[in-house]
Amino acid sequence: MPRLHLLLAGLLMLATSPGTLAEQTFSDAPETMAGAPTLSQLSVDGNRFINADGDTVVLRGLSLSDPWHLERQGHWNRAYFEAARAWNAELVRIPVHPGWWREAGHEQYLQWLDQGVQWAGELGMYVIIDWHTIGNPLTGVPHRPNYLTTQEETYYFWHLVANRYRGNPVVAFYELFNEPTNRGGEMGRLPWPEYKAYIEGLVDMIFHIDDTAIPLVAGFDWAYSLEHVRDDPIDFDGIAYVSHPYPQKREPPWQNQWEADWGYVADTYPVIVTEFGYMAEGDRGAHIPVLGDDTYGKAITDYMADKGISWTAWVFDPRWTPNLFTDWDYTPTMQGEFFKKVLAQ
Amino acid sequence: MPRLHLLLAGLLMLATSPGTLAEQTFSDAPETMAGAPTLSQLSVDGNRFINADGDTVVLRGLSLSDPWHLERQGHWNRAYFEAARAWNAELVRIPVHPGWWREAGHEQYLQWLDQGVQWAGELGMYVIIDWHTIGNPLTGVPHRPNYLTTQEETYYFWHLVANRYRGNPVVAFYELFNEPTNRGGEMGRLPWPEYKAYIEGLVDMIFHIDDTAIPLVAGFDWAYSLEHVRDDPIDFDGIAYVSHPYPQKREPPWQNQWEADWGYVADTYPVIVTEFGYMAEGDRGAHIPVLGDDTYGKAITDYMADKGISWTAWVFDPRWTPNLFTDWDYTPTMQGEFFKKVLAQ
Amino acid sequence: MPRLHLLLAGLLMLATSPGTLAEQTFSDAPETMAGAPTLSQLSVDGNRFINADGDTVVLRGLSLSDPWHLERQGHWNRAYFEAARAWNAELVRIPVHPGWWREAGHEQYLQWLDQGVQWAGELGMYVIIDWHTIGNPLTGVPHRPNYLTTQEETYYFWHLVANRYRGNPVVAFYELFNEPTNRGGEMGRLPWPEYKAYIEGLVDMIFHIDDTAIPLVAGFDWAYSLEHVRDDPIDFDGIAYVSHPYPQKREPPWQNQWEADWGYVADTYPVIVTEFGYMAEGDRGAHIPVLGDDTYGKAITDYMADKGISWTAWVFDPRWTPNLFTDWDYTPTMQGEFFKKVLAQ
Ligand SMILES: [Mg+2]
Ligand SMILES: [Mg+2]
Ligand SMILES: [Mg+2]
Ligand SMILES: [Mg+2]
Ligand SMILES: [Mg+2]
């Protein structure tokens, strides 16, 4: 089928403003975003991310909240991205909740994502797009209704997103499935080989659309554990693995357990920690496994620095928890103060 | 993930009124009903149901109609359950239609179920929750639109229900899929090994949530035949099998055919007949395979008594057929008179 | 389950007007259309379609547009079918878009189809019912949102349609899945053996309902290529294969490529070209792969005549492209003039 539109879209990229899409004919693939500013294209080299010059890149930044959630609060705007940049984020993660994706419709959602990608790119920040579901991808049981999706919907989401940001260096990462878990069996069976086959199907599709994208693959236990990677890694080069090592996933001292559970993977493949954070027990919205303090903050950031692991701290929102700020003056919380300082170093 | 809420829910059970749910934090499993009265916990021992004292229990009762169907008629209330108890039901079966589950929403539906469980428990009746779908679970073809569901939705239904009634002795049984049929091929292929694998996935999930529940497994031909159990039973202990031996499934004399088709299973596993009933040809809503008379009624109840098979007669509703009563004074039909007498013995 | 209704429906067919359905009881299969006029029943014999007298039949006609699309324009009516007949169509193809099937609801849609079948039959034209989806049937990725469906929905569609037109000779063909494609990998993996297994499941279901129907099976590359049939044909007799050889699928000269890509199948199985057409580059809605002129028109119709291949030209609608007419006076376009002449021969 015709690929002329790709060339066209490429030319337009240099000239047009955000939101201008190349004209479509019937047979064309889904639209590609035009006009995004260019950052150096990232790729995977061994266990590192490198830029177009071959330099090793370790990115640190912030996990944002969902565009629709922010839109309804009146804060899906450039100021929000400027605040993230003011905290020295080099990377921002944009979560898309399946339930909201359906409610708002994918055309609206992709326009919000275009805006975020545009703002991030102008401010010099890379973007992770995150399919923010939690549950068992094989049985379809979600942790909560807003996380409910199907394999078919997930394929279609990534088909649209990968076409939208084909060859766009700002959108460096696609986090395929936020937190796979079967809750110890309570969401049905979740054998790694079947999960792996599903993930490989998604990666295969994405690479056919855009082999400059870097898919991010989570392990089980709510994206904490990468134990299965040791013996049975994803059968594609060019991907990276994800962990969400919240403080109470393990009892301190953590380092040896992190190394055994997921950190060891960073010796062979790139690893990126796309969620972690902490808050005090009495705080609003506090819950297991996020209770912790700066001791944890220091331990995990030191551990990741040692290992060359990129990260985004959860969450740059005043309502979701553990929150990084408390109000729309971006007043930092306990962890907010800590991460702001680390990012400034 | 945190299980503290379970302990909490357990404690609340002793103290709170129905409908009061333990407070949830983000990582918690779906809510567990609080405050249900306690009957003796049933379990499977060989081919029998036993109570907490180890006594063999054979339960006889009534198949109710759907909570939403009754709610719209103004009869989803304690009086309806009291009427079932007045007919001497020891067991009631509550069917949930997938189409109505979606329309009313699961939060509303679970509240109705909580009410039913509460009323049944207070009146000393056990409960079967029945996912009231008819069709081919592999291709998804339903007998009628209201029976349409998917494997994903079925997993999520049982995930929510099994969490809701974790460890609750009143809710003794989960009838996983009311009537599997492929209509002789007209709904697509339905090989037993694939059906069995699906059912085992559901049982595995439920037992991880609550190993005190007793899943009920139907065979093919609209839950009539258990022919496949002989050579290839479900690979779990602690379950029971279901048949729906309506009169015209076979020509009289029935007994030897029932024995060969499904009754033989009762020699090895518990069997429960969750639907059966009859009406005269000229009656409103009469249809194959439910045409019959008291000859059938006596034959089937005698057969089940001989075999120690538990049962619920279809249906304790004045509209659905074959109906057990004709109006909201609970005036019995032909079969209503018959079953009322048998239940009183 | 009871089949008495079938006999009843058969009797009614002789006597009733269109739209009159036999009364249903609970256990009955979905309704069968009553009253359709009778054409000679077609069937497959080797690589030919034959009628009830055993005569070889090669059908030529028009691909209509979707009932709902026409209904909204006020043109889903007998006059539209009369116009097709005035162009000498012997066969019309009715596409059903999954998105519209869901929106209008299947009861409404089946009534529209009943009307079309009635009008076509009265006018002496056979009907293809076409599940008008485009995309990867395994991952569920659609080419556009209106093509989105699932395997479950596709099974249910064919279950309802095959019951509706059981034994109805006017509805000769069921085109199972309009255009399977994975866009060269960009819609995910699409191995032929898995597609074949899915299609065989649909054929198996349809033949259990109505073994007088002729299922039509498309190959990959948007229903262009039948390359996989050579070594691994569908494991059922009584089916036919489909190709959509639009002009730019290959560079001229076309004939040898058509022969190698899909036409060779016509030596062994019946082949029917259910979509093809062309328009000039500057025309409204022109796009790859439909650009062409009468050279193509002559080449493809000559090739099909040589091979005894039946066909319907795309599309008997003034808006969709390549269109056969420009206004509701049925003024022919370039290709419209050409096909009208060929059909008149
Ligand atoms: Mg599915
Ligand atoms: Mg990119
Ligand atoms: Mg599905
Ligand atoms: Mg229980
Ligand atoms: Mg037919």
From A154-168, B34-48, B288-302, the region with the lowest mean pLDDT: B34-48
Place of tokens 């032929």: C192
Alpha helices in C165-293 (DSSP H): 192-209, 220-223, 255-261
**Distance in Å, CA C74 to ligand 1 centroid:** 37
> Phi-psi bin for B19: left (phi > 0), alpha (psi -120 to 50), beta?
left
Question: In DSSP terms, which residues pair with B259 in a beta bridge?
Answer: none
Alpha carbon of B214: minimum distance to chain A alpha carbons (Å)? 16
- All residues of chain C having their beta carbon less than 8 Å from the beta carbon of residue B289 are 1-2, 27
Among residues C23, C1, C106, the alpha carbon closest in space to that of B223 is found at: C1
- Judge whether residue B11 has pLDDT over 60: no
Selecting from A142, A145, A187 the residue whose C-beta is nearest the C-beta of B205 gives A187
Q: Is A188 in contact with B205 (Cβ distance < 8 A)?
A: yes
Higher pLDDT, B198 or A11: B198
Q: Are C291 and C41 in contact (CB under 8 A)?
A: no
Phi, psi of B211 (to 5 degrees): -85, 10
Q: Are C229 and C265 in contact (CB under 8 A)?
A: yes
Helix (H, G, I), strand (E, B) or coil at C128: strand
Q: Which value does ipTM take for this structure? A: 0.94
- All residues of chain B having their beta carbon less than 8 Å from the beta carbon of residue A141 are 152, 155-156, 159, 205
Give Cβ neighbours of residue B23 (< 8 Å, ≥ 6 apart): none
Assign B15 a pLDDT band (cuts: 50, 70, 90).
Answer: very low
CB atoms within 10 A of CB B4: 12
| Chain A, nearest residue to C191 by Cα | A201
Model confidence over C172-230: pLDDT tens digits? 999 999 999 999 999 999 999 999 999 999 999 999 999 999 999 999 999 999 999 99
CB atoms within 10 A of CB C232: 11
For A264, half-sphere exposure in the C-beta direction (CA atoms, 13 angstrom radius) is 13
Give Cβ neighbours of residue B100 (< 8 Å, ≥ 6 apart): B66, B68, B69, B109, B146
Q: Is A25 in contact with C289 (Cβ distance < 8 A)?
A: no
How many residue contacts between B and C have a Cβ separation below 8 Å?
65
| Chain B, nearest residue to C199 by Cα | B188
Query: From the candidates A5, A31, A109, A152, which should be mutated to test the interface with C, based on the most C CB atoms within 10 A?
Result: A152
Instruction: Please state, rounded to an integer, the average pLDDT across all residues of chain C.
Output: 93
pLDDT at C327: 98
Q: Is B2 in contact with A288 (Cβ distance < 8 A)?
A: yes
Is C24 found in the same domain as C60? no
| Chain B, nearest residue to C211 by Cα | B186
Model confidence over B305-333: pLDDT tens digits? 999 999 999 999 999 999 999 999 999 99
- Judge whether residue C3 has pLDDT over 60: no
β-pairing verdict for A48-50 and A56-57: antiparallel
Q: Is B1 in contact with A289 (Cβ distance < 8 A)?
A: yes
Is C119 found in the same domain as C96? yes
| Chain C, nearest residue to A4 by Cα | C288
Is B29 found in the same domain as B175? no
**Distance in Å, CA C173 to ligand 5 centroid:** 7
Which two three-digit tokens encode residue B131? Answer: 């996912």
Alpha carbon of B312: minimum distance to chain A alpha carbons (Å)? 29
Q: Are C141 and C130 in contact (CB under 8 A)?
A: no
Which stretches does DSSP call E strand in chain C? 43-45, 48-50, 56-57, 60-64, 91-96, 126-131, 134-135, 171-175, 179-180, 214-218, 240-243, 271-273, 310-316
The Cα–Cα gap between A334 and A341 comes to: 11
Is B295 found in the same domain as B244? yes
CATH number of the domain encompassing residue C205? 3.20.20.80
CA C253 vs CA C258, C259, C288: distances in Å: 10, 12, 18
Cis omega (within 30 of 0) for bond into B247: no
- Chain C contact partners (≥3 CB pairs within 8 A): A, B
Give Cβ neighbours of residue A81 (< 8 Å, ≥ 6 apart): A92, A116, A119, A120, A123, A125
Place of tokens 């921002």: A92
Q: Are C67 and C73 in contact (CB under 8 A)?
A: no
Which two three-digit tokens encode residue B118? Answer: 């509460």
Which two three-digit tokens encode residue C4? Answer: 């008495």
Q: Are C70 and C76 in contact (CB under 8 A)?
A: yes
Give Cβ neighbours of residue C169 (< 8 Å, ≥ 6 apart): C38, C39, C40, C41, C42, C212
Is C188 found in the same domain as C243? yes
Among residues B314, B312, B316, B313, the alpha carbon closest in space to that of B331 is found at: B316
Model confidence over B256-272: pLDDT tens digits? 999 999 999 999 999 99
Q: Is A186 in contact with B159 (Cβ distance < 8 A)?
A: yes
Share of chain B above pLDDT 90, in %: 91
pLDDT at C249: 98
Place of tokens 């380092």: A255
Q: Are B154 and A188 in contact (CB under 8 A)?
A: no
Which two three-digit tokens encode residue C37? Answer: 């006029």
Residue type, C85: R
Selecting from A25, A153, A204 the residue whose C-beta is nearest the C-beta of C189 gives A204
Which two three-digit tokens encode residue A304? Answer: 């990741």
| Chain A, nearest residue to B29 by Cα | A143
The Cα–Cα gap between A184 and A192 comes to: 13
Query: From the candidates C138, C150, C183, which should be mutated to test the interface with A, based on the most A CB atoms within 10 A?
Result: C183
Q: Is C188 in contact with A205 (Cβ distance < 8 A)?
A: yes
Assign B24 a pLDDT band (cuts: 50, 70, 90).
Answer: confident
Q: Is A25 in contact with C222 (Cβ distance < 8 A)?
A: no
What integer is the mean pLDDT of C68-91?
98
The contact set of B with C (CB < 8 A) is: 136, 139-142, 145, 148, 150, 181, 183-189, 222, 285-289, 321
Helix (H, G, I), strand (E, B) or coil at C254: coil
CA B341 vs CA B301, B312, C128: distances in Å: 11, 14, 58
Q: Residue B100: give the domain boundaries.
A: 41-344
Selecting from C145, C150, C285 the residue whose C-beta is nearest the C-beta of A152 gives C150
Q: Is A186 in contact with B202 (Cβ distance < 8 A)?
A: no
DSSP A204-250: HHHHHH-TT-EEEEE-HHHHTB-GGGTTS--S-SS-EEEE---GGGS
**Distance in Å, CA C179 to ligand 1 centroid:** 20
Is A175 found in the same domain as A105? yes
- Judge whether residue C17 has pLDDT over 90: no
Model confidence over C38-47: pLDDT tens digits? 899 999 999 9
Residue type, C99: G
Angle between helices A334-344 and A294-307 (to 10 degrees): 30
Residue type, B262: W
Assign B37 a pLDDT band (cuts: 50, 70, 90).
Answer: confident
Question: In DSSP terms, which residues pair with A273 in a beta bridge?
Answer: A243, A311
pLDDT at B12: 32
Number of structural domains chain C divides into = 2
Ligand positioned closest to the Cα atom of B171: 4
Q: Is B287 in contact with C204 (Cβ distance < 8 A)?
A: no
Is B132 found in the same domain as B72? yes
The Cα–Cα gap between A26 and C285 comes to: 8
Higher pLDDT, C3 or B150: B150
Query: From the candidates C4, C31, C205, which should be mutated to test the interface with B, based on the most B CB atoms within 10 A?
Result: C205
Is A18 found in the same domain as A52? no
Assign C35 a pLDDT band (cuts: 50, 70, 90).
Answer: confident
CB atoms within 10 A of CB C43: 20
Helix (H, G, I), strand (E, B) or coil at A185: helix
Which two three-digit tokens encode residue A322? Answer: 């553990």
Q: Report CA Rg, chain A.
A: 19
Model confidence over C286-343: pLDDT tens digits? 999 999 999 999 999 999 999 999 999 999 999 999 999 999 999 999 999 999 999 9
The Cα–Cα gap between A12 and A6 comes to: 10
Tens of each residue's pLDDT in chain A, 345 residues: 223 333 333 333 333 344 557 678 899 999 999 876 789 999 999 999 999 999 999 999 999 999 999 999 999 999 999 999 999 999 999 999 999 999 999 999 999 999 999 999 999 999 999 999 999 999 999 999 999 999 999 999 999 999 999 999 999 999 999 999 999 999 999 999 999 999 999 999 999 999 999 999 999 999 999 999 999 999 999 999 999 999 999 999 999 999 999 999 999 999 999 999 999 999 999 999 999 999 999 999 999 999 999 999 999 999 999 999 999 999 999 999 999 999 999
Ligand positioned closest to the Cα atom of A36: 2
Alpha carbon of B167: minimum distance to chain C alpha carbons (Å)? 34
The Cα–Cα gap between C223 and C217 comes to: 9
Query: From the candidates A7, A24, A26, A211, which should be mutated to test the interface with C, based on the most C CB atoms within 10 A?
Result: A26
Which two three-digit tokens encode residue C336? Answer: 């419209």
Q: Is B201 in contact with A139 (Cβ distance < 8 A)?
A: yes
CA angle C122, C125, C131 (to 5 degrees): 115
Q: Is A287 in contact with B202 (Cβ distance < 8 A)?
A: no
Q: Is C289 in contact with A156 (Cβ distance < 8 A)?
A: no
Phi, psi of A238 (to 5 degrees): 90, 5
Q: Is B188 in contact with C202 (Cβ distance < 8 A)?
A: yes
- Chain B contact partners (≥3 CB pairs within 8 A): A, C
- All residues of chain A having their beta carbon less than 8 Å from the beta carbon of residue B208 are 183-186
Is A99 found in the same domain as A31? no
The Cα–Cα gap between C50 and A247 comes to: 73
The Cα–Cα gap between C91 and A84 comes to: 63
Is C283 found in the same domain as C194? yes
Alpha carbon of B142: minimum distance to chain C alpha carbons (Å)? 7
How many residue contacts between A and B have a Cβ separation below 8 Å?
65
Which stretches does DSSP call E strand in chain A? 43-45, 48-50, 56-57, 60-64, 91-96, 126-131, 134-135, 171-175, 179-180, 214-218, 240-243, 271-273, 310-316
Model confidence over C143-159: pLDDT tens digits? 999 999 999 999 999 99
Alpha carbon of C28: minimum distance to chain B alpha carbons (Å)? 9
- All residues of chain B having their beta carbon less than 8 Å from the beta carbon of residue A145 are 106
Helix (H, G, I), strand (E, B) or coil at B86: helix
The Cα–Cα gap between B143 and C41 comes to: 29
Is C22 found in the same domain as C89? no
Ligand positioned closest to the Cα atom of A215: 2
The contact set of A with C (CB < 8 A) is: 1-2, 4, 25-29, 106, 150-153, 155-156, 159, 163, 201-202, 204-205, 208-209
Is A172 found in the same domain as A217? yes
Place of tokens 């103290």: B15
Which stretches does DSSP call E strand in A5-113? 43-45, 48-50, 56-57, 60-64, 91-96
CA C275 to chain centre: 8
- All residues of chain A having their beta carbon less than 8 Å from the beta carbon of residue C225 are none
- Judge whether residue B5 has pLDDT over 60: no
